[in-house]
Amino acid sequence: MKRLCLFFLLFLTACQSASPQVTPPTRQALPSITATHTEAPLPTATRNPTASPSPTTSPVPPTTTSTNTATASVTPSGTPSPSPTPSPSPSACTNKAGFFGDVTIPDDTLLPQGETFVKTWRVRNEGTCIWDGYHLVYVGGYPLGASSPQPLPYAAPGDVIDISITMNAPGNGGTYISEWMFMSTNGQLFGVGLGERGPIWAKIVVQWLQNPSSLPGNGAETTSTPSPCTTERNPGYEDTLLTLLNQTRAENGLPALVRDARLDQAALTHSQDMACNDFVDHRGSDGSTWFDRVRAVGIDDSQARENIYVGNPAYGGDAQGAFSWWMNSPPHKANILNTTATAVGIGYVYNANSTYGGYYTMVFASP
């Protein structure tokens, strides 16, 4: 009997030692079952399709875990979004204008002498600065009776605006051009075209009349004698202009112009006149024309020409700025590339107490 019991116990022990061979299939299914009830491994199980034994069990946990993980990640990613919204500060923005067309008085409009007219340009703010407190300023040609500066309408970047100025046709017949540029609140001059240095202009053709002397604006106009003032010269600017002038002429197959001391004096006289009397015009404060100033230095040339420019060197009104502006202005560019002149005179002065600071004059003639 004892042997029989001992044999029975040994048989039971043998059965228990063989049971591990049965458990592996059971444990193989455990990871998939615990994964559906465990929070931590769920992201791994739902992102890896092979971890889910059947499509029926996987959709339920991912719905809750995905919303939990999404809310955790949305918070940091949303915080940087307001950073691009601030508008550019005035010191960091750029000034640029685009010419869209002449609304009134297109080029070469024929007008009677003394006629009052309104010139309107259409332009767009193509920079990043807001035009608030900006002005349109006269920079060359003939002012045509218009005052300067003229306030500009408010314009945000991308806005298209119309700019209107009341002008008067001169009392003498001929072709007249009035050139204008934009000025920011800190005195920076800018325009249209290449380098933002091109002006916008009004160009009219005035009819000749038999008795123009009775019309307003005609006849000898006298002004007070220029009061003494202190100006500073910059020979380096004048030399730079001569270099740029002859380089440009050479690029266009034209001979170099020789600098003439007499024409230098005519140019310098006019620059000092403009700087000391705070105006911009080809006609001097004493009513003289460039022909008069050229004749005054002993040169009689009916084909003499003149370019003028004003600008503060601190805001781009240096020699390069002046020359670039001339090259962007058709009548001034034509003077630079004219084929009749053989000599040139250049005069630059600076007056810190004037409106524009720097005043340039370039005279072309054949002595």
Q: Which CATH class is domain 97-206?
A: mainly beta
What is the model's pLDDT at position 318? 94
Measured CA to CA, the distance from residue 61 to residue 46 in angstroms comes to 8
pLDDT digits (tens, 9 = 90+) for 173-214: 777 888 899 999 998 889 887 777 788 999 898 876 644 444
What is the model's pLDDT at position 208? 64
What is the model's pLDDT at position 226? 42
* Residue 211 to residues 106, 143, 207, Cα–Cα distance (Å): 27, 23, 12
Chain region(s) in the chain for CATH 2.60.40.10: 97-206
Chain region(s) in the chain for CATH 3.40.33.10: 232-365
Measured CA to CA, the distance from residue 36 to residue 42 in angstroms comes to 7
Mean pLDDT confidence for 122-130:
95
What is the model's pLDDT at position 206? 85
Mean pLDDT confidence for 11-20:
44
Measured CA to CA, the distance from residue 117 to residue 124 in angstroms comes to 23
* Residue 279 to residues 135, 228, 232, Cα–Cα distance (Å): 16, 15, 17
What is the model's pLDDT at position 244? 98
pLDDT bracket for residue 304 (50, 70, 90) = very high
Mean pLDDT confidence for 345-364:
94
Mean pLDDT confidence for 149-174:
92
pLDDT digits (tens, 9 = 90+) for 310-331: 988 988 889 999 999 999 888 8
pLDDT digits (tens, 9 = 90+) for 44-99: 333 444 333 444 344 444 444 433 433 333 334 344 444 444 444 456 899 999 99
What is the model's pLDDT at position 197? 78
List, as one string, the DSSP characters of 109-165.
EEE-TT-EEEEEEEEEE-SSS-BSS-EEEEEEE--TT--S-EEPPPB-TT-EEEEEE
Per the structure block, which two tokens stand in for 16? Answer: 């228990």
- If you average pLDDT over every residue of the chain, what do you get? 77
pLDDT digits (tens, 9 = 90+) for 248-284: 999 999 999 999 999 999 999 999 999 999 888 888 8
| CATH superfamily of the 232-365 domain | CAP (3.40.33.10)
Tell which wins on pLDDT, 227 or 196: 196
Long-range contacts, 59-62 (Cβ 8 Å, 24+): 60/36, 61/36
Non-local (6+) Cβ contacts of 77 within 8 A are none
pLDDT digits (tens, 9 = 90+) for 330-348: 889 999 999 999 999 999 9
List 350's β-bridge partners, or say none: 232, 358
